[in-house]
Amino acid sequence: MNIAVVTAADNYYFRPDTTLNREAKDYYCPDGITRLLVTPCVYSRIVKPAKAISKKFIDRYIDSFDFGFILDACAAQHGVATSMDYTTVFPCDFKKLSTADDASFELSVNSEVVFSSKGFDKDSLSEAVVSLSARSSLRFGDLVAIPLSTGYIAKIGDRISFCGREITIF
């Protein structure tokens, strides 16, 4: 399984499955990491292998979504790899794509709301998968994520709350 993060129409990168944190467990920073960039995302799971999907057939390849976030080392911490283990916090409690207009998502750092969304444009998710499939093969179970904002800084000791869950950065 891969985790594809689509950052713009023609930009994407893959995170390995070792970054997936399904249980939203607390995160222990590697030595030298003191701050993390928290980026809220919407994501979907590929339900059928795909290559070069046409937009009119997208519902055959994705049928659900969920919200989560990605943790990355802040750029100022030179020499540190992105995609550290357990830094893709996606609980995988998928909701039907047809409910996207009514879905809400709130992300808080230390009880302060840093991101809030009521619904999202499911066409942007569809377009991201179509664009990605034109350049990369997608397999059953792959996750495709779209960042919903530029991200927020969290530091050691901060608590991140989302979707009724909370993790602490250690």
Residue-wise pLDDT for 103-133, tens only, equals 999 999 999 999 999 988 889 899 999 999 9
Residue 35 has pLDDT above 70, yes or no: yes
Query: Does the pLDDT value for residue 78 go beyond 80?
Result: no
The CATH number that applies at residue 86 is 3.90.850.10
Residue 119: its pLDDT value, please? 83
pLDDT for 137 beyond 80: yes
Banded pLDDT at 32 (limits 50, 70, 90): confident
Q: Which of 29, 49, 48 is nearest to 154 (CA)?
A: 29
Q: Average pLDDT of the chain?
A: 91
Number of structural domains (the chain) is: 1
State the residue range of the domain holding 96. 2-168
* pLDDT given for residue 103 in this prediction: 92
CB atoms within 10 A of CB 114: 17
Cα 137 from chain centroid?
Answer: 19
- Given a cut of 70, whether residue 82 has pLDDT beyond it is no
Output the pTM of the full model: 0.91
Task: Please tell me whether residue 152 adopts helix, strand or coil conformation.
Answer: strand
> What is the per-residue DSSP string for 87-112?
-EE-----EEGGGGGG-EEEEEETTE
Q: Which residues of 9-28 are buried (b: 16+ CB within 10 A; e: fewer)?
A: eeebeebeeebbbeebeebe
Output Rg (C-alpha) for the chain, integer angstroms.
Answer: 16
Q: Report pLDDT for 77.
A: 56
The residue-averaged pLDDT of 57-63 equals 95
Return the C-alpha torsion angle 34, 42, 142, 22, nearest 10: 50
> Stretch 150-167: mean pLDDT, rounded?
95
Query: Three-class SS of residue 84?
Result: coil
Higher local confidence (pLDDT), 168 or 92: 168
pLDDT of residue 8: 77
